[in-house]
Structure 1
Amino acid sequence: MSIERVLVTGANGQDGTFLVRRLLDEGHEVHGMCHSDDGAARFALQFPAATPHTCDLVDAQGIGRMVEQIVPTHIYNLAGNTSVARSWEFPAETADVLGVGPIRLLDAAWRLGEVTGSPARVVQASSAEIFGDAAVVPQDEVTPHAPVTPYGAAKSFAHEMAAVYRRRGMFASTAILYNHESPLRPKSFVARKISAEVARIAAGLSHELVLGNIDVQRDWGYAPDYVDAMLRIGRAAEPGDFVVATGTSHSVRDFVGAAFRHAGIEDWERFVRIDPAFYRPADPKRLVGDSSRLRLLGWEPSVDFEGLVAIMVEHDALLLDSANAE
């Protein structure tokens, strides 16, 4: 494998962390774009073999300078807040960062390619939220977009613009990512909220897990598997759109039950309280992906649903044990 010069945006996030770690392990030159100087400092401390850059997807000139300085062979755009709930609080910011921001990056890569004759391969992190309340289950790469959230609408626009640049001759691919979790998720995400609170309840430190709608269906995978998928997409012979999903759906209720059972609690319902305040204004009911196209690249998920839940709960239980030991 030839040495790649890779720019990873959103380098401090869950996916960015796993991707940078994987690329460095493979011996590639890695540049991480961080939102702030503090973020760049944290990145440099965590990954001393990589190069941090402070920039923001709303800064077209800054993005242009950064891409021109790095001259990357590959760009993985993972930047921007990944909270659907937050997109309802800041819809205009969401549209600018997640919708228009990727275009600034695509355009900078295109312009540099015109000068150097060696355009970067770009992988845009898309989202299952572009499908909204899809009439078709499972969804694939040609399922019509019908977003029902500001996050989904912004991601849909960026997704379509990647296709526009691809039609111009650029290697611009999208990874249509379904829900994927790991212990690196903050507790504002429902999967981590569940695993952390279940660990506390099992340890006798809490007595209640408060959630919103627990009957929505999601296709949950393990984040390192999805990072592997993005690398395969970026290294494929041809660019395109690729659904990244396990093909199996589970409800939030299923996740809660599995987490409690892994913690040794069978009668879990008595610990769960539903609060309508946690319901979203709109929430796709069933998102399940058909990753047949991606599997032609040799991709397979290595962790199933039960395994994912176990990883999350065990991590949070170990955190509690470590805290108590101190």
Structure 2
Amino acid sequence: MKRALITGITGQDGSYLADLLLDKGYEVHGIVRRSSTFNTRRLDHIYRDPHDAGRRLILHYGDVSDASRLVTLLARVRPDEVYHLAAQSHVRVSFDEPENTGDITGMGTTRLLEAIRMSAMDIRYYQASSSEMFGAAPPPQNERTTFHPRSPYGAAKVYSYWMTRNYREAYGMFTVNGILFNHESPRRGETFVTRKIARAAARIKAGFEKHVFLGNLDAVRDWGYAPEYVEGMWRMMQLDQPDDYVLATGIGSTVREFAEHCFSHVGLDWREHVRYDDVYLRPAEVDTLVGDAGKAREAFGWTARTSVYRLAQIMVDAELARLGSDSRETWSANPFTNARTPVEHSGRVLPR
């Protein structure tokens, strides 16, 4: 049985990656930050899996700001693969907290890479790089495009990208950078624009709200479906030689178009409900991010399969289902098995 360690396991990508790896027979370990409230809701369905996948999911308290804890966890878990997804990942917030973003998103990578090097174990390492590294670079962006980040988050990710490559080149470690363009799902955080729009469309349709406030409607992004992207993460970790790969759909859509898709799905005109608020603007905007995933397609056969229109439908339908469910539970689905199991909002799962 292979063993994987995932930082950021409680996030969107971490939870989908846990689903995928458990379905492939892995024992999955995740690092969870200590909090006064439960933050494992995206994982609760695993503990109710009819195949008892919960026995093969083990959570550990830890933080990428604590180098000694990372060393201890690697010695305890002895993973075959490490997927580093933890970060301060909200671009707008990174302008408000640049130092924290640099420490967690940037230096956290160095702490983990150094812990792996010191362990002397044969560990494969995945670095969650980001399309935000390209920033102002003209599209389409691929592995040969020069980075031009336009936020503290993007700059921290560029640092992590180069540290990942340096550990590969200096120490012969198996390290890969997955440069993922925007990928969304019903598990996306509510403060991210796609989830915010999908949630608003459902709530406005249900009569709970009348408007949603957004920033730059002209920003163009390459939006894909998160479960497909975590599959790409896993595939690049199975290659004979490590390298860096872009994952993207190759199709750009504006925030305005995504809003139109969401609202039209529930029979509403987005123009009657979307309001502009400059509080959501960034000090430095990124106009267009559209990726070229040709290298990944050639190397391991990965292509995005879900259109942005279908993605909007999936996300709005999930919001409608949440509104229609009992107040004590929602539904969480494993996209890799199509299992559908109820999840209690109270969250009983604790690291063990």
Superposition TM-score, scaled by structure 1 size: 0.93
Aligned residues: 318
- Give the structure 1 partner of residue 116 of structure 2: 109
Contact 2:10 2:43 in 1 (8 A): no
The answer for the alignment partner of 2:272 in structure 1 is 270
Per the TM alignment, residue 283 of structure 1 is displaced from its structure 2 partner at its CA by 1.9
Query: Tell me, what secondary structure is at the counterpart of 1:52?
Result: strand
Offset at residue 205 of structure 1 (A): 2.1
SS at match of 1:123: strand
TM-fit CA distance, 1:175 = 0.6
Structure 1 position 95 matched with structure 2 position 105: no
Q: CA deviation at 1:325?
A: 11
Alpha-carbon distance, 1:40 to partner: 7.8
**Aligned partners of 2:114 and 2:154: how far apart in 1?**
22
The equivalent of 1:138 in structure 2 is 140
Question: 1:318 aligns to what?
Answer: 321
Query: Match for 1:171: what amino acid?
Result: F
CA distance in 1, matches of 2:116, 2:243: 17
Q: Specify the alignment match of 2:243 in structure 1.
A: 240
Q: What one-letter code is carried by the residue in structure 2 that aligns with 1:318?
A: A
The alpha-carbon deviation at position 278 of structure 1 amounts to 1.4
Superposed, which structure 2 residues align to 1:150-189 within 5 Å? 150-168=152-170, 169-189=172-192
Query: What is the DSSP-based 3-state SS (H/G/I as helix, E as strand, rest coil) of the residue aligned with 1:8?
Result: strand
Secondary structure of the 1:137 match is coil
Q: Is the Cα–Cα contact under 8 Å of residues 15 and 43 in structure 2 kept in the other structure?
A: no
| Structure 2, unaligned runs of 5 or more | 48-53, 330-352
1:16 is matched with which residue?
Answer: 14
C-alpha contact (below 8 Å) 1:12/1:39 kept by paired residues: no
Give the match's secondary structure for 2:60.
Answer: strand
In 2: Cα distance, 1:244 partner to 1:202 partner = 34
Tell me the equivalent position of 1:57. Answer: 64
Asked if structure 2 preserves the Cα contact closer than 8 Å seen for 1:44 and 1:51, the reply is no
Q: Deviations over 1:119-174 (max 9, x none)?
A: 2000000000111111x310001211111100000000000000001102111001
Q: Is the 8 A contact 2:220 2:252 kept in 1?
A: yes
Please say if residues 165 and 175 of structure 2, whose CA atoms lie closer than 8 Å, have aligned partners that are also in contact: yes
Question: Identity of aligned pairs, percent?
Answer: 41
What secondary structure does 2:325 align onto? helix
Structure 2 letter corresponding to 1:234: M
CA distance in 1, matches of 2:230, 2:190: 21
Return the structure number with greater helix share: 1
Q: Distance in 1 between matches of 2:325 and 2:38?
A: 26
The Cα of 1:202 is off from its aligned counterpart by 1.5
Q: Deviations over 1:266-324 (max 9, x none)?
A: x3212111111111111210001110111121112221111100000111111112258
Residue 31 in structure 1 maps to residue 38 in structure 2: no
DSSP-derived class of the 2:324 partner: helix
Please tell me the root mean square deviation across aligned C-alpha atoms, in Å.
1.8
Q: Report which stretch shifted further, 150-159 or 3-12.
A: 3-12
Q: Deviations over 1:40-73 (max 9, x none)?
A: 8768855432111111111111111111111111
- The one of 83, 89, 98 equivalent to 2:90 is 83
Tell me the CA shift for residue 101 of structure 1.
Answer: 0.5
- Contact persistence 1:33–1:40 (CA under 8 A): no
- Whole-angstrom distance in 2 between the partners of 1:43 and 1:314: 18
2:239 is paired with a residue of what secondary structure? coil
* 1:239–1:312 Cα change, 3 Å: same
Is the CA contact 2:221–2:288 (under 8 Å) kept in the aligned structure 1? yes
| CA distance in structure 1 between the partners assigned to 2:259 and 2:304 by the alignment | 22
Residues 83-118 of structure 1, C-alpha deviations (whole Å, 9 max, x = no match):
1111111110100101010111111111212xx4xx
Flag the 1:292–1:44 CA change in 2: closer, same or farther, 3 A: closer
Aligned partner of 2:150 in structure 1 is: 148
CA distance in 1, matches of 2:39, 2:206: 36
Q: Secondary structure at the match of 1:210?
A: strand
1:16 maps to amino acid: G
The letter for the 1-side match of 2:66 is: D
- How does the TM-score come out when normalised to structure 2? 0.87
1:216-255 matched pairs, under 5 angstroms: 216-255=219-258
1:193 to 192, 196, 201: 196
Whether 2:8 is the aligned partner of 1:5: answer: no
The secondary structure found in structure 2 opposite 1:191 is helix
**CA drift at 1:81:** 2.3
